Structure formats: C-alpha cells, structure tokens
Structure 1
Amino acid sequence: MTDTSSPAPSMAALGHEIIDIVRTVGVALAIALVLRVVLFQPFTIPSSSMEPGLVTGDYIVVSKLAYGWSRASLPLNPPLFEGRLMGRAAQRGDVVVFRLPRDPAQTWIKRVIGLPGDRVQVRRGQVFVNGRAIPQAPLGVIWDHDAQDRRVLAIGEHTPDGRAYVTYDGGPGQPGDDTDVYVVPPGQYFVMGDNRDNSLDSRWPHELGVGLLPAENLVGKAGFVLASWRLGASILKPWTWLDLQPDRFLKPIR
C-alpha cells in the first residue's frame, strides 16, 4: 500500500513557523503601542460630569497630536522630561483629557473655559470670561441621561469663535453657581464639566476638584465617541457586552 499522506513537518520548519508568528505578533503590538503613545488613545467615560455631550459608558478616542506630548501623554506618567514636546495651546471650548493634578494616576475629562491670562467667574450659573458672559440659550427641561429621576434644563452655549455645545443646569442656588474671580496663570487652564451642577472642576480647589490645570497635565483632545455601553455593562459581565447605545456610535465630541 502506498502512503499518500503529507510528511510531518521537521522540527526546524516548525521552529521557523513559531518564530514568524511571534515576530508578527510582536510587530503588531509595537505598532499598536506607538499609535497609543504617539497618536491616539481610547478612554471610557466613568461619570456623568460631561453630560449631555458625553455620558457614562462612552468609549472615546483622544488625539495626542493636538497639544504635543508631555510625560502625562505616556503610560504611567514616567518622570522622563518636563514641559511639552511640540506643544500647542488648547483652545477655549476644547474637551480635554488630563491627569488630575493631585493624583496623576487618575485621568479626567472637562471642557476648557479659561485660557492663560483670562479672568473667569460664575454668576447665578452663567460663566463670565474677562467680564463678558458666555451666551446661553435655554433648550428646554429634560430628563438627565444618566439619572432618569432628575430633571435638568438643557442650555446651549457658544464660545466667541462660534463653537457650540450643550450644558445641563440642575436649578438655581447650586454649589458652584456663584464664584470668586479666578485669574488663570500662564501655562494653566480653567476647566469645567458640561453637567455644571454635577462636576468637580476648576471651581473647586485641587484638594477637592481639579483646581487650575497645568498645561503639562494634558493627555490629549477628545475627538469622537467610538461606541457606548449602557449603564450596568461591564467587562466582568459577558452577558452585557452587547448592551450598546447604537445612537452614540461615531458621535463627534463638540
């Protein structure tokens, strides 16, 4: 009887094949690491402080090209250098991801309201920059996306350069509705959450909120929502992995 089966591969050939697989995986991981460190990084929104533009469960993509690179841009925030490489200033209205000044292990997200040299104050819930109010337009009372038993007033705001976004107002007399005048020093920013009455931001000292944000702490600029999971979904609960919010796929962050 003739044996027509293929000969078993030699150990040398099998070894070369394993080396090729390892090399391919290694190159892929290296490319992914470079993209993550240099270009883009994903983040998951853990809280409601940036509603309605960003909600809990959003999986966003952040551009590291926007402001250049600092130690905050790198994994684990290593003390390799000071300042920013190819640094560019954030603009008023940008939604930024940053390392929390009091605890750089934490990454937070807020909107830039005050630039270096600005004077920022909140009066009766309206933001004033250099004595001029950021225009507001009431859009109606709605249910809070993440807290369906909470009613909020949706308010449209737009910056002097025409950038428009929507904020939430929980009503008059809330903590943070009336503040002192904050003068933003060089190299720092004043940031706020869009969910104005549910955000610990630059209105609070760094021991409690953000305080004034050093430019060096910027990780990048939030670009768009890649996908979004409903409240309660978790990587530890496989049955929730497909519990998506389809209306938030590829949603630009304004």
Structure 2
Amino acid sequence: MASKKSEGGVLDTLKTVVYALLLAGLIRTLFFQPFYIPSGSMKPTLLVGDFLFVNKFAYGYSAESCPLGLCPFDGRIWFTEPERGDIVVFAHPANGTDYIKRLIGLPGDTIQMQGGRLIINGEMLPLAPAETFEEIYEDQQATRPQCANGTVSLGAICQKEQFVETLPNGVEHMVLNIADRSSDNTPVYTVPEEHYFFMGDNRDNSIDSRFFNRMQISEFRTSLSGPPAFNGGGVGFVHRDLLIGKANLVVLSAAGTSLFKPWNWRLDRFFEWVE
C-alpha cells in the first residue's frame, strides 16, 4: 500500500512539473518574453545588466514572436501599429539576433542626423541640455563603458553629455553624446512601407538603423539620398514582421559582471517601468 502511495506521489509531482512547464511555455509564447541587456546602446534608459519583460502582444504576432519561429502562420496577425518612441525588441534583419532599440521612424518618414541632431520629416528635433550622465568605469558584463571625459582608469568616473530629446509626438527621452563621430551625420533615409527605423539612446555607441548590412545595401539604396552607411552588423530598416514586442518592465538589474551576484544588484531599478 505504501509503495502505491509513493508511486502516486511521484506521478503527481511529475504532472505538476509538466503542467508548470507547459504554462510557462504558453506565457512565453503568447504574452511575455524575458530579455537581458548585454550592451550600453540604450543608456541611460536601459543599463547593461537590466533584466526585463517584453510585452509580446503589443503589436500582434508573427513568426518571430514564437520560440524558434514555430508559429503556424506567415506574416503578422492582430497587428497594432507601434508608436514613435516605443522601446522595441526585434529580430535583426540579417542574422535573427534579438535587438532592443527606440522606434524613431515610421513608414514614409524621412530621417537624418546632422551634427548629432535628429531631423524627422525635415524638422530638427528639440534638444535640451540635462545633467551630465556619470557611471563608474568598470566591467559591465563583457563590456566597459565609453567616456566623453577621455581615458579614465578602472574605478574612476566616466562621463557623457546628456540631453532631453523631444519626438514629434511629444515623447521625451534622454540621449547621450560621447564625441563627434561619423554617425552624427547621415544621408536622408526614407522609411519604406511596412518598415521602421530604430536608434539607440546612447547615440555614439549604437549599431542601429543608421547602418546597413551587406544584405540590405542594394535593396534599400533607392531609399537614401546618399551612399548608405555600411557596417557588417548594421540594422537598416526593420520590417514589421520582425517586431517581437514592446519593453515594459525592468524586473531585476545588476552592475558588474553577473546578474547572479546579489551585492551587485541595483535595487532602485527593480520593477521599474520602461519609458
């Protein structure tokens, strides 16, 4: 009798584990996907070591919304147009890697950078100085920050200029400036139908839609007023079917080299909404 009870208990436990895994898989497939920030391209909005949830039903569903692309349909269903200023996770057009950037350009927009200033549909966006962004120069996962105040030693203060940029729809967000770089001046980009233009808030440390990869050069050359900026990992224009979801909430955050060292946790960023 005891043996049957023991077998029943083990079977019940296995059932519970299986149901939990199926529920977790369903939630991840249809609703929320965890995402880890490995680079500094979205500073100061998102920091290296932030662990956040992505709302997968914000823009409807495509094959990229499902693990391993297993959704049984082509194109996108229940599509809702993203809004300018959204922070979006999408699949890289060339290699499928998940990227996270801010949505800057909508279909039909013209986008250009001149002297580090963003121009949308011929209008230069307002840019107001803000307090200098400071962080410790140290290992941040597999990277170290880039600094505007020259070469600094480990443990010293790394500074960047910080500004408030206002998008045409009134969305305000912080952007950083490190130095004058070639990406501060671009040709005019005309965003094709069903495509979007993304940029990182850390403008001088972001591979984004200002750069095209080899696959895109011939395809989108007619959408540019000049020669396209080339980078092997460039993002270029992103088709709507590649959108995965909208970043909603930072759940955990850790400085240093690992998320699993509690003494590095940034408790003030736990459960912080992403804007």
Fold equivalence (TM over 0.5): yes
The 5 Å alignment of 1:151-166 reads: 151-166=159-174
* Among candidates 101, 104, 127, match of residue 110 of structure 1: 101
Describe the superposition over 1:136-190 as per-residue Cα deviations: whole angstroms up to 9, x where unpaired. 111133335663744311010122222211010113x312100000000011100
The 5 Å alignment of 1:158-197 reads: 158-171=166-179, 173-197=180-204
1:119 aligns with 2:144: no
Aligned to 2:155: none
Aligned to 1:56: 48
Separation in 2, partners of 1:205, 1:78: 28
Aligned to 1:141: 132
1:227 aligns with 2:243: no
1:98 aligns with 2:90: yes
What is the one-letter code of the residue matched to 1:133? M
Separation in 2, partners of 1:141, 1:21: 54
Contact 1:96–1:109 (CA under 8 A) maintained in structure 2:
yes
TM-superposed deviation, 1:231 = 2.1
Aligned to 1:204: 211
Aligned to 2:69: 77
Describe the superposition over 1:221-244 as per-residue Cα deviations: whole angstroms up to 9, x where unpaired. 000111101121155xxxx24420
Larger radius of gyration: 1
What secondary structure sits across from 1:103 in the alignment? coil
TM-superposed deviation, 1:80 = 3.9
Q: Which moved more, 1:22-31 or 1:147-156?
A: 147-156
Q: State the Cα RMSD in Å.
A: 1.7
Contact 2:196–2:238 (CA under 8 A) maintained in structure 1:
yes
Separation in 2, partners of 1:101, 1:241: 36
What secondary structure sits across from 1:56 in the alignment? coil
TM-score, structure 2 normalization: 0.83
Q: Identity of aligned pairs, percent? A: 37
Q: Which moved more, 1:149-158 or 1:34-43?
A: 149-158
TM-superposed deviation, 1:85 = 1.4
Describe the superposition over 1:92-148 as per-residue Cα deviations: whole angstroms up to 9, x where unpaired. 0000001111111x1110000000010001111111110012211111333356637
Separation in 1, partners of 2:270, 2:167: 26
Structure in which a larger fraction of residues adopt helix:
2
Contact 1:233–1:241 (CA under 8 A) maintained in structure 2:
no
Aligned to 1:66: 58
Q: 1:79–1:65: structure 2 CA closer, same or farther, 3 Å change rule?
A: closer
Q: 1:136–1:23: structure 2 CA closer, same or farther, 3 Å change rule?
A: same
Separation in 2, partners of 1:216, 1:152: 35
The 5 Å alignment of 1:21-60 reads: 21-60=13-52
Describe the superposition over 1:18-55 as per-residue Cα deviations: whole angstroms up to 9, x where unpaired. 11111111111111111111011111100000000001
What secondary structure sits across from 1:30 in the alignment? helix
TM-score, structure 1 normalization: 0.89
Separation in 2, partners of 1:82, 1:251: 34
Separation in 2, partners of 1:81, 1:221: 21
